[in-house]
Homo-oligomer: A and B are copies of this chain.
């Protein structure tokens, strides 16, 4: 089972990388951009057919390694 996860900076944490991308896009004549935030994306292929168990495992991975919960949020956005 493949699980897709996004890890993003929490709302109140500054995102200098996102700001740089925003400026670069503005210099390329993209207007009307309010905000850009960059995050990480993971696609984990787990050898586990039970949907609930696979999800639980993915959550544990996020908590223990993939996300820094002090400044980041994670979200399981899909599975197949």
Contact partners of A24 in chain B: CB under 8 A: 65
Partner of A41, one of B32, B40, B44, B64: B40
Chain B residue with Cβ nearest A33: B46
Contact partners of A57 in chain B: CB under 8 A: 30
Partner of A48, one of B32, B43, B65: B32
- This chain's copy number in the assembly: 2
Docked Cα-Cα span, A65 to B29, in Å, equals 12
Interface size on A, residues (CB 8 A): 34
A-B contact pairs, 30 of them (CB 8 A): A4-B6, A6-B41, A7-B41, A8-B41, A8-B43, A21-B42, A21-B65, A25-B65, A28-B64, A28-B65, A32-B47, A33-B45, A33-B46, A33-B47, A34-B45, A34-B46, A34-B47, A35-B43, A35-B44, A36-B42, A36-B44, A36-B45, A37-B42, A37-B43, A38-B41, A38-B42, A38-B43, A40-B40, A40-B41, A77-B78
